[in-house]
Amino acid sequence: MMSRFESRAYKVSVVSLMIALVPVLEMINQALPLRAPWGMSIDFVALPVLLAFFILGARYATVTAIGMYLILTAFGFANFVGATMKFFSTVAMVVVLGIFACRWAKGENPKAFPLPVLLIASVAAIGFRCLVAFALNYYWAIPIFMSMPIEDVINTMFLGSIWGFIGFVSAMNVTQGAIDIGLAWFITFSAGLSRRALGTAATSRASSAR
């Protein structure tokens, strides 16, 4: 007999909760902005997407990311460009983590990687995020946001160095990606969320077997 943790209702509830967390985290970020020493803004708005991944998997994390995108766009928490960048950079990590999960994750849910695999998967996911962010910034986001050709932006802000631009984009995305994955993993596993979920699921299955 299917436990409630394997039911569609449970999965819909988790995804709904994660999406509901998005505006809360964004409002906190707006009220109490957090910045790295070199000036970049750090936020936790994509954290629910990574939580959904570790709890339910890539498909439900992608649904959560779509909800995040709609909220950030429709309710004015971020402009269209910012919401689009956040969506694609986050989904890029989910895709890579999902590929690793298909081969190495233990169990269906939550997605428990052995630590060495988690580290390799995280590096690969953040690396892919950087590639996606670089392409979107170079060909689309920065020219729209700055209202000037990308070549002029690089000449003005990075002394004409494309490597300076790549380094800047990479530094921001490595930092944010590491925070998103690391914090989601900690909340899901080290903070005991997965143990409570799995323990309750095991109890439910045992009860249905009697």
What is the CATH number for 113?
A: 1.10.1760.20
* pLDDT digits 0-9 by tens, 129-182: 999 999 999 999 889 888 899 999 999 988 899 999 999 999 999 999 999 999
Q: Look at residue 183 and tell me if it is in a domain.
A: yes
36 vs 68: which has the higher pLDDT = 68
Residue 137 included in any domain: yes
Spatial contact of 24 and 43, defined as CB atoms under 8 Å apart:
no
Q: Report if residue 210 sits inside a domain.
A: no
Q: How many CA atoms lie within 13 A of 94 on its CB side?
A: 27
Task: Return the pLDDT at 88.
Answer: 97
State how many domains the chain has: 1
Secondary structure (3-state) at 34: strand
Q: Which tokens go with 161?
A: 């160095």
User: How many Cβ atoms are within 10 Å of 22's Cβ, its own excluded?
Assistant: 26
Write out pLDDT tens, residues 56-92.
999 999 999 999 999 999 876 668 888 999 999 999 9
CA distance 86 to 66: 11
Contact in structure between 59 and 105 (CB atoms under 8 Å): no
What is the distance of C-alpha 48 from the center of its chain? 7
pLDDT confidence of residue 200: 44
Is 93 inside any structural domain?
Answer: yes
The pLDDT score that the predictor gives to residue 210 is 43
Asked if pLDDT for residue 197 goes beyond 90, the answer is: no
Task: Tell me the residue range of the domain where 142 lies.
Answer: 4-205
Is 76 among the domain residues? Answer: yes
- 8-state DSSP, 148: S
